[in-house]
């Protein structure tokens, strides 16, 4: 193959210019610290280092690069893409965004005409550049002392073996492969093995139930699944294989057969103790080591699908968000590099699971594209003691820690002593994602964890955006606790009112995005119409994020939370409609309505109103069995925190549930219910209030 750009210098023109400018600034190093709102001050050394590495010295530098990125996206991203390996270069007019306002038809094409392979760029490229013996994964098991190190060379070989096995069972370019694994090295390896073949992976978070897994396999028609015999989360065993068996049964009943399951033997469930379907199930340990350790990559078109990831919205079943190859690759690498100041060989730890988008972009692809050394931790943060995370930071000398507000709050609640017990001097950058970070958690992270040395990078983005959209850059401009600050290169945020009118200056509104960006969602699996309707029909000509947002007079963006019926539980998106459907499927329930309420640790908790069938008792047993139904249909993370028995639900005369009222009742704000006269039956409100239960 002709590898255009293969021998191209690692630095693009843009970066070279930056590096030079950076050294100039080093020479006139200033000692003035940047003032942080609320008294937090990031020492100047952080800025100096970042400037030297990226060439961004000030907000003005950023503004210049930003302008270039939005005025000439084809040129801007083309320059950066030249640093990757392409089998064929993209066409000159490769960047197109068609948004037909009349018909609502939307299509994004970036690096069109180019051919590449992400697995090659994540692994082979670095091995060929002499990084074969650099650690790629530093894995920490659930229990202290369980560890595994894999170099880039070893990961490449293992990826090839798994890819060869996939080929041997008939997986070809474009086929969907389901992955249902705990956070072990085989998880990113399985993803990369699919990618190497041009197969499309669909990772399902190992906390999802059999029903959810089946639904996802059916929707994307995956006939091969990669899983494990079991798993451990803290002191709890996770019966992964049993869930896979149950999912395969559900799928079969609906006419979809899972042909092959590749099963990693997990110490939690050794052979002999694991249920087995002969002919279908294959032990990873039997099949994979026997495969050849090399495997030719399948070069794919930049716009060929890379992966599918299901996510919840306000209505209907979870949507299979489709990401394409070229744009996602360049976007993932560039955001990881600039937002986290990531350089080859840096020890980097993203605490997300690969089952969510954060794990895709910032555990698997982004850091590997940057040749980082990736910490992977299988277990839960407080196991066996509340200092587990800090122990890992100390042991692995983690430079960048990317985590979530819910975790930060849970760790803060354990007290500072656990943190201070461990050396954290390796830390340079702290990241946050998943939900709005409250200023208190922000300050704790900044002051206690990072000892006021590390910038806090509060990154706003979504499954659909693929990569970070709004985020500070380390030390490039003053931060502000709780604010994601400024848009990343190529991202054009706009705030609109509920009529879709664009608002200017310091204001508050609904966050939308103009123009497109490299890692943007390309479609919803099997339903392009739904894609156009969900994201582009609310406000004509704009991508609708579903988030509310404030912009201040510095131009900083602060996300205020979802404006639709999506609840954010511990950073996981839960659709109210899905929880309601799971409750309603229970025989005791006639009707259910679910709202999000503030929760001290989880950010939001799930508050469910349930109307019982006539002969049902509002008993503790019924409550438990309703919660069990949600666990079974979706997964444990979606279990309601509160079940509030309701004689009926407040509905308009047209039958629409008035969630606004239910949200107020859930937080005891009875005096703020507003006008209830438009309800079909206003008396239902008092009846619900009289049945109030104890709060979270
Ligand atoms: C990456 C990810 C997306 C939703 C998003 C928003 C919330 C994510 C945030 C944030 C405030 C941040 N969200 N990051 N809110 N500040 N830094 O989490 O994707 O699971 O699709 O969730 O999460 O509400 O719309 P996803």
For the stretch 65-79, pLDDT in tens is: 999 999 999 999 999
The residue contributing the CA closest to ligand 1 atom 5 is: 462
Residue numbers annotated as active site = 564
**pLDDT bracket for residue 314 (50, 70, 90):** confident
Ligand 1 centroid – CA 422 distance (Å): 30
Is the shortest distance between the CB of 360 and ligand 1 below 6 Å?
no
- pLDDT tens string 142-192: 999 999 999 999 999 999 999 999 999 999 999 999 999 999 999 999 999
Cα(462) to centroid(ligand 1), Å: 5
- Is the pLDDT at 122 greater than 80? The verdict is yes
Distance 458 CA to ligand 1 centre (A): 10
Q: Ligand 1 pocket, 562 CB below 6 A?
A: yes
Burial (CB count <10 Å: 0-12, 13-18, 19+), residue 345: middle
Evaluate: CB of 341 within 6 angstroms of ligand 1: no
Q: Is 459 left (phi over 0), alpha (psi -120 to 50) or beta?
A: beta
What pLDDT band is residue 45 in, cutting at 50, 70 and 90? low
Q: How far apart are CA 561 and CA 547, in angstroms?
A: 5
pLDDT of 49 reads 77
Confirm if 65 and 483 have CB atoms less than 8 A apart. no
- Point out the ligand 1 atom lying closest to the alpha carbon of residue 458: 17
Is residue 37 predicted with pLDDT exceeding 70?
no
**Closest protein CA for atom 18 of ligand 1:** 434
pLDDT of residue 17: 33
Number of H helices, E strands in the chain: 23, 34
490 lines ligand 1 (CB under 6 A): no
Dihedral of the alpha carbons of 10, 16, 21, 22, in degrees to the nearest 10? 0
Confidence of residue 40 (pLDDT cuts 50, 70, 90): low
pLDDT for 673: 87
Q: Over range 551-563, report the average pLDDT.
A: 95
Cα 85 from Cα 93, distance rounded (Å):
19
Mark 226-245 as b/e (b = at least 16 C-beta within 10 Å).
bbbbbbbbeeeebbbbebbb
Dihedral pair phi/psi, residue 128, rounded to 5°: -65, -25
pLDDT band at 674 (very low <50, low <70, confident <90, very high): confident
Position 1 confidence tier, pLDDT thresholds 50, 70, 90 = very low
With a 6 Å cutoff on the Cβ, whether 462 touches ligand 1 is: yes
With CA atoms as reference, report the closest residue to 451 among 379, 376, 401, 392: 401
**ipTM at complex level:** 1.00
Closest residue to atom 1 of ligand 1, CA basis: 462
| pLDDT digit string, tens, across residues 223-274 | 999 999 999 999 999 999 999 999 999 999 999 999 999 999 999 999 988 9
Is there an atom of ligand 1 within 6 Å of 559 CB? yes
Average the pLDDT over 562-587 and give the result.
Answer: 92
Please report the pLDDT score of residue 373 as a whole number.
Answer: 98
| Residue 498 to residue 518: CA distance in whole angstroms | 28
Mean pLDDT of the chain: 91
Residue carrying structure tokens 């530098």: 61
Classified as helix, coil or strand, 653 is coil
Q: What is the DSSP letter of 603?
A: E
Ligand 1: atom nearest CA of 463 is 21
Q: Write the CA distances from 254 to 66, 175, 187, 275, 410, integer angstroms.
A: 50, 20, 27, 22, 41
Which is the closest atom of ligand 1 to the Cα of 559?
Answer: 11
Length of the chain: 696
Q: Is 311 in the pocket of ligand 1 (CB under 6 A)?
A: yes
Label residue 694 by pLDDT band (50, 70, 90): low
How far away, in angstroms, is 482 Cα from ligand 1 center? 13
């Amino acid at each position: 193959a002709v590898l255009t750009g293969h021998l191209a210098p690692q630095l693009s023109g843009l970066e070279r210019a930056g590096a030079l400018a950076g050294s100039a600034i080093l020479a006139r190093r200033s000692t003035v610290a940047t003032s942080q709102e609320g008294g937090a001050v990031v020492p100047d050394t952080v800025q100096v280092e970042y400037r030297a590495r990226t060439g961004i010295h000030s907000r003005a530098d950023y503004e210049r690069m930003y302008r270039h990125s939005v005025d000439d996206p084809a040129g801007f991203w083309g320059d950066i893409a030249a640093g990757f390996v392409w089998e064929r270069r993209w066409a000159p007019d490769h960047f197109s965004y068609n948004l037909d306002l009349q018909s609502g038809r939307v299509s994004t094409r970036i690096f069109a005409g180019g051919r590449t392979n992400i697995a090659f760029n994540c692994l082979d490229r670095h091995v060929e550049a002499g990084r074969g013996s650099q650690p790629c994964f530093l894995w920490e098991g659930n229990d202290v002392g369980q560890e595994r190190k894999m170099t880039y060379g070893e990961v490449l070989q293992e990826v090839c073996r798994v890819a060869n096995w996939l080929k041997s069972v008939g997986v070809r370019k474009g086929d969907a492969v389901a992955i249902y694994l705990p956070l072990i090295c085989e998880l990113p390896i399985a993803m990369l093995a699919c990618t190497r073949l041009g197969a499309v992976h669909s990772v399902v978070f190992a906390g999802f139930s059999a029903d959810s897994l089946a639904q996802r396999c059916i929707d994307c028609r995956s006939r091969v699944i990669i899983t494990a015999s079991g798993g451990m989360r803290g002191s709890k065993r996770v019966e992964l294989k049993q869930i896979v068996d149950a999912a395969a049964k559900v799928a079969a009943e609906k006419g979809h057969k899972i042909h092959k399951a590749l099963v990693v033997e997990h110490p939690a469930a050794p052979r002999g103790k694991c249920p087995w379907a002969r002919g279908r199930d294959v032990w990873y340990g039997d099949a994979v080591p026997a495969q050849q350790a090399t495997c030719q990559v399948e070069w794919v078109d930049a716009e060929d699908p890379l992966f599918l990831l299901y996510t919840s919205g306000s209505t209907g079943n979870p949507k299979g968000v489709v990401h394409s190859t070229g744009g996602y690759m360049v976007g993932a690498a560039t955001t990881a590099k600039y937002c986290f100041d990531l350089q080859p060989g840096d020890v980097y730890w993203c605490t997300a699971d690969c089952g969510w988008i954060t794990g895709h972009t910032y555990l698997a692809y982004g850091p590997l594209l940057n040749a980082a050394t990736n910490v992977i931790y299988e277990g839960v943060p407080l196991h066996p003691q509340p200092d587990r995370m800090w122990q890992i930071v100390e042991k692995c000398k983690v430079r960048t820690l990317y985590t979530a507000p819910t975790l930060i709050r849970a760790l803060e609640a354990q007290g500072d002593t656990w943190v201070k017990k461990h050396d954290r001097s390796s830390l340079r950058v702290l990241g946050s994602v998943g939900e709005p970070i409250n200023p208190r958690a922000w300050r704790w992270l900044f002051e206690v964890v990072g000892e006021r040395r590390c910038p806090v990078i509060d990154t706003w983005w979504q499954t659909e955006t693929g990569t970070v959209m709004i985020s500070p850059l380390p030390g490039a401009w003053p931060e502000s606790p709780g604010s994601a600050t400024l848009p990343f290169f190529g991202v054009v945020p706009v705030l609109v009112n509920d009529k879709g009118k664009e608002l200017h200056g310091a204001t508050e509104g609904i966050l939308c995005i103009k123009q497109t960006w490299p890692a943007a969602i390309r479609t919803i699996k099997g339903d392009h119409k739904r894609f156009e309707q969900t994201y582009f029909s609310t406000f004509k000509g704009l991508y609708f994020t579903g988030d509310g947002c404030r912009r201040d007079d510095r131009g900083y963006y602060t996300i205020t939370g979802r404006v639709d019926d999506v609840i954010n539980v511990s950073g996981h998106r839960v659709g109210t409609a899905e929880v309601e459907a799971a409750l309603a499927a229970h025989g005791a329930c006639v009707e259910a309505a679910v709202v999000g309420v503030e929760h001290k640790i989880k950010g939001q908790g799930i508050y469910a109103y349930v109307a019982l069938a006539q002969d049902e008792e509002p008993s503790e047993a019924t409550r438990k069995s309703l919660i069990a139904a949600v666990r079974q249909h979706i997964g444990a993370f979606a279990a309601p925190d509160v079940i509030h028995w309701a004689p009926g639900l407040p509905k308009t005369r047209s039958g629409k549930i008035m969630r606004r009222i239910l949200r107020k009742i859930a937080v005891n704000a009875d005096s703020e219910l507003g006008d209830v006269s438009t309800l079909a039956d206003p008396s239902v409100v008092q009846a619900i209030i009289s049945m109030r239960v104890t709060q979270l």
